[in-house]
Structure 1
Amino acid sequence: MPVSSSSAVERIARVIAGRILSINADGDDPSAGDRVDAAWRDHRDDALSVLRTLREPDSAMAAAGDVDVWERMVEAALAGAEQSA
């Protein structure tokens, strides 16, 4: 599996910014890449909230893999975000 070079928080925040700005979602910009680059940090708290919610896997997620590993991975993403804040 590929490993991302950007943090989970940044990737989630970029998705949120993209949904707001891009015409492909709820926005009006047909080429929102530069605006997303400039705005994603404004959505960092939203991204952290998403990650905090994902600490507990749902039943389908738990059935697919190791719940303890999942929790450690999400906690690591949150800890990394706090260190880079």
Structure 2
Amino acid sequence: MPMSELPLAERIARVLAGAALSKNADGSNGSAAKDVDDHWKDHLNQAMAVLHTMREPDHLMAEAGDPQVWTRMVEAAIQDAE
């Protein structure tokens, strides 16, 4: 199973930065990689809000696996980012 080298909060913040900056989403930059590298921390508070929301699995997620494990994993990501 592949595992990321980057913390989950950073990955979410990078996605949010990319969405804000990239021409492929809401931004105007045709090549936003450098800007994402420079500005992902500006989106860390939004990433933390996403993580806090993700702590509770929904019904389908709970059916697919252990909801307590999910909650502990997301809480670990939150603690890592704090």
TM-score of the two chains, using structure 2 as the length reference: 0.98
1:76 to 2:69 alignment:
no
Root mean square deviation of aligned Cα:
0.5
Amino acid at match of 2:31: S
| 3-state SS of paired residue (1:39) | helix
| 3-state SS of paired residue (2:13) | helix
Aligned to 2:47: 47
> For structure 2, which runs of at least 5 residues remain unmatched after alignment?
none
| 3-state SS of paired residue (1:26) | coil
Return the alpha-carbon distance in structure 2 between the equivalents of residues 61 and 15 of structure 1. Answer: 22
Return the alpha-carbon distance in structure 2 between the equivalents of residues 64 and 30 of structure 1. Answer: 38
Q: How many residues align?
A: 82
Amino acid at match of 1:54: M
> For structure 1, which runs of at least 5 residues remain unmatched after alignment?
none
Aligned to 1:27: 27
Q: State the shift of 1:57 in Å.
A: 0.5
| 3-state SS of paired residue (1:31) | coil
Aligned to 1:15: 15
